[in-house]
Chain A
């Protein structure tokens, strides 16, 4: 699983980086007379409703997906880890306050809060990042809080405290590293979640706006052409499914590697 996941994710990352230089077509260039043209040797994925090369747009869309996934995961994991570690280590009022905020945010199922936030903030790439980060940090905070609650009672942490180590040092050098493997697994699966969520928001018309080539926006454009040009739907969706599968394989593989209880 780990190897298949790594292969897919690294391959997709390379395609996102180098892809646009591998195809002669500009993802924004329109050839209106050829609109909705089916896949051919010149255009292996066909052309969309404005005569744009779908392969070039899928490759450009990979950049958007990685950009959103990496940004959301990095910010969410950093904020969530810090708040979760603080809540778990200090306990008391701080823990209560952070835990209640987590409880309220977890009361909204998955994407619903992101839909609500983007609905009021307005559809844009920046607002998608904000909305997904607001719902994203919670999972990390809850995970790290639990790990820290366990870690702070461990002998080596108690020993560090007895030796007079400061709170920041204990958290940074001893407690957070103990939680890191679980955070890395969560972050890998979080990449899949962020990519799907962005695509879902864009599919609903609430995310990245045209003409930016997001996979979700491309799928949304394909809805009007299910009958006459199904290739508009097939290729962007396939790209999402393969990349998400890659991150899920990688996440599962890493979990098996770091947590013996989950080994198949």
Chain B
């Protein structure tokens, strides 16, 4: 078990190094002179030279890379060009809002998906299953950048039930969380259905039914518990999609999280903040994937011996 965990964690190191290298390279992919691009055409040569020196872009590439990696180990992501504040502190302020939204969206997804998936599996092959699976596929196909504005029109503009943007009490969380959670719910519902269909065919479920266990109990207490492992795994692996979706959802609802900061920083060409946001989201995604693998390893011994 310890060996499996150690191996999985060790495999993460080169991936994280690759992620850091790619994020470091981003600023060098800017066509032409990145400093001129950040300051605009009106900037004087002196201003361009000053900023180049401040960002360390006048130094050899290997020295810039070394400084970047050394900074990362200390949690130093540089300074925002727009606010002159440390990037790490700017991002840290936004993290709670993004995580609040992400976890609320996952809660919405689980609440919608599990019952839908179970019902579809119990009535597999019938009209209820067809309706549920079609609904899930429709859910996957509706992009959140359409669902969000559509819900804002219905629930804020027409009905006036919910606030259209910003972050405040629970009411402010509803539309962003549903917008972000709905596509995930569709993916989870399909997974729950597939997993439950497999479990319901297992002999132990038939045996439970033969012993007189009620159909409801056989489904909920027996099959559902075992079908949860792949569902939880998918939930963990979908965290990345939630974080990317948060970039769009936060922009729609003016939710003050990391995603909105990323888009605002792109429009201001504040590349250090852009790099910081991308890095944070990618590292969170990698960490979540590793955590999912480790939990899966704990739950299913076959994985550890693979």
Quote the shortest CB–CB distance from B39 to chain A (angstroms).
15
| Residue pair A107, B149 in contact (C-beta under 8 Å) | no
Q: Which of B72-80, B222-230, B236-244 is the interface stretch?
A: B236-244
What residue in chain A is nearest B25 (Cβ atoms)? A120
Given contacts A110-B244, A226-B152, contact A122 B19 (CB under 8 A): no
Q: State A153–B263 Cα separation when bound (angstroms).
A: 48
How many residues of chain B get a CB closer than 8 Å to chain A's CBs? 51
Q: Which residues of B contact A84 (CB under 8 A)?
A: none
Query: Given A107-B18, A110-B241, is A200 in contact with B29 using a C-beta cutoff of 8 Å?
Result: no
For residue A205, CB closer than 8 A to chain B, the reply is yes
Contacts A120-B29, A205-B267, A219-B145; A109 near B150 (Cβ below 8 A): no
Interface of B, secondary structure class, is helix
Question: Would you list which residues of chain A between 233 and 261 have a CB under 8 Å from chain B?
Answer: 233-234, 236-238, 240-241, 244-245, 248-249, 252
Q: Which residues of B contact A219 (CB under 8 A)?
A: 145-146, 149
B27 CB-CB contact with A under 8 Å: yes
Enumerate chain A residues within 8 angstroms of B19, measured Cβ to Cβ.
104, 107-108
Say yes or no: is B171 at the interface (Cβ < 8 Å to chain A): no
CB of B285 within 8 A of CB of A120, answer: no
Chain B, Cβ-Cβ closest to A114: B244
Contact A203 B248 (CB under 8 A): yes
Most chain B C-beta atoms within 10 Å of own C-beta, residue among A115, A205, A206, A230 = A115
State which of B2-10, B110-118, B274-282 sits at the interface with chain A: B274-282
Does B212 have its Cβ within 8 Å of any Cβ on chain A?
A: no
Distance of A138 Cα from B278 Cα, bound (Å): 19
Residue A222 at the chain B interface, CB threshold 8 Å: yes
**Is B14 close to A, CB under 8 A?**
yes
A196 on interface, CB distance cutoff 8 Å: yes
**Structural contact, A112 and B141, CB atoms closer than 8 A:** no
Which residues A169-207 have CB closer than 8 A to chain B? 192, 196, 199-200, 203-206
Query: Chain A CB within 10 Å — which of B16, B34, B145, B262 has the most?
Result: B145
Which single member of A120, A234, A241, A252 contacts B26 (CB below 8 Å)? A120
Could you tell me the distance between the alpha carbons of A216 and B143 in the complex, rounded to whole angstroms?
10
Known A-B contacts: A107-B15, A237-B149, A241-B138. Give 9 more (CB < 8 A): A104-B19, A112-B247, A115-B266, A203-B145, A234-B153, A237-B143, A244-B141, A245-B138, A264-B129
A-B contact pairs, 13 of them (CB 8 A): A107-B18, A111-B244, A112-B244, A115-B278, A120-B34, A234-B150, A237-B143, A241-B142, A244-B143, A248-B141, A249-B137, A264-B125, A264-B133
